[in-house]
Amino acid sequence: MPTNGAHIAFGTAEALRITWNTKDVDSRLTPIEYLKNNLENLACERITITGHSLGGAITPVLATALADHSSHWNPSRRQISIDAYIFAGPTPGDEAFRTYTEKRVKINSIYNTTDIVPHAWQQNMLDEIPTLFDPWFGPITNGQHREIVHWTIQYIISLPQTPNTYKRWNNEKTFSGQLSPDDGYEIVKGINKSSKAVIKRLKKKSADQLCNITGVSKDQLDPYIIFFLKYFAVLGAQHVAQYQKHILNNPTFVTELKDALKSKSIISKLKAANEALEVLTTLFGKVSDFKRKNSQSRASTTS
């Protein structure tokens, strides 16, 4: 990786380490070992790496690492280009990393401007998150039962260290995801159908944290959780389904981007509801701690 003062996020670096050392289930080889063992039998002039969401953050970092370590898997120095196709990826690094990577590999990045995930972590895009879903929900700071969403957003945008030096890629392609009335109806119908079971499990696992976030008692939590679930469902629709709709069905996007996305569908169900609930339980714990510290800081400032 670069030594010219470039930086990437710690989480991205850890994800790269795991990816770099993970062995394929069938071949029992790491990515480098697989390329080294099979390159001579592959009549390829290009290696394409693609990923969505977290995979969209790892993709350019892995592509750069492969380029930097090409002598380990391409000892004969064949002319092989490395391309990265990034969908809905958060920003993995700073401007120095962007400059270095764009010189080493071909970056093809596309994101939905109404998707929260790629708004992390460049500062001016983080600043847009609190109002990003106003067309569907109105201002998060106004209205009832919005505390869980409000404090979750505040926690997320507080994560980057100061100063924030993250920079998105140059020459990205974008589209604006739109939800039709039918989409909204399906989201609400799905939430209403599953909300009782989800609410029961969330209250069992995270009651104390949710009570701290909302400032209400356990028996008053239901409408707060329902609003969060509706918000979360729109987030999911913008982060997943809209990419399939706008990329695979829109002829204005280049064929290569379509082919890269088709190679491994980004539309996949959660492995299990338990995993999603565990993620939310961890998140609510962090948000609760963030609100508590924020409140203590305000109290000490005003005293």
Q: What is the pLDDT of residues 194-242, one digit of tens each?
A: 677 888 888 998 999 999 999 999 999 999 998 998 898 889 889 988 8
What secondary structure does DSSP assign to the chain, as a single string?
---SS--B-HHHHHHHHHHHHPPPTTT---HHHHHHHHGGG---SEEEEEEETHHHHHHHHHHHHHHHTHHHH-TT----EEEEEEESPPP-BBHHHHHHHHHHSEEEEEEETT-SGGGSSSHHHHTTGGGTTHHHH--TTSSSS-HHHHHHHHHHHT-SPSS--B-PPTT-EEE-----HHHHHHHHHHHHHHHHHHHHHHHHHHHHHHHHHH-S-GGG-HHHHHHHHHHHHHHHIIIIIHHIIIIIT-TTS-HHHHHHHHHS-S----S-HHHHHHHHHHHHHHHHHHHHHHHHHHHHHH-
In the chain, what are the domains? 1-117 (3.40.50.1820), 123-165+177-303 (no CATH)
Alpha carbon of 298 to those of 174, 215, 303: distances in Å? 39, 16, 9
Alpha carbon of 269 to those of 161, 228, 265, 275: distances in Å? 33, 20, 11, 11
Q: Which residues contact 178 (CB under 8 A, 6 or more apart)?
A: 114, 242
pLDDT score at 149: 96
pLDDT score at 191: 62
Give me the residues of the chain with pLDDT under 50, please: 264-272
Q: What is the pLDDT of residues 124-136, one digit of tens each?
A: 999 999 999 998 8
pTM score, whole prediction = 0.85
**Rounded Cα distance, 188 and 137, in Å:** 13
pLDDT score at 271: 46
Q: Are 264 and 85 spatial neighbours (Cβ–Cβ below 8 Å)?
A: no
Alpha carbon of 72 to those of 33, 195, 252: distances in Å? 9, 52, 39
pLDDT score at 236: 86
**Rounded Cα distance, 154 and 202, in Å:** 21
Alpha carbon of 219 to those of 207, 208, 282: distances in Å? 10, 12, 21
**Rounded Cα distance, 160 and 283, in Å:** 16
